[in-house]
Amino acid sequence: MSVDDQALVSLFTGLDTPAVSDALDKLGIHGQALNIMPLADYPDVIVGPAFTVRYVPASTPAGTVGDFIDDVAEGDV
């Protein structure tokens, strides 16, 4: 993770997801995180760059579901 990414992640560490969602809405960035509410008071915070996966129809030869796992960087969620 780059220094810039680390700085950005540290800014989000003290925030919960609903607060980030509300801030995006107030900035006019709507539809990014709809109706998110805390389920409980969790003491741990999970924050980091999202590692997203897009599944597509299997190729020939077909890969395995976990082929991407080695590409996930430390700190990704």
Domain boundaries of the chain, sorted by first residue: 1-77
Q: Determine what percent of the chain falls in helix, strand and coil, rounding each to the nearest 5.
A: 30, 0, 70
Q: What is the pLDDT of residue 53?
A: 84
Residue with tokens 């993770």: 1
pLDDT at 17: 78
pLDDT at 39 over 90: no
Query: Residues 13, 44: contact at Cβ < 8 Å?
Result: no
pLDDT digits (tens, 9 = 90+) for 40-52: 777 777 788 888 8
pLDDT over 80 at 63, yes or no: no
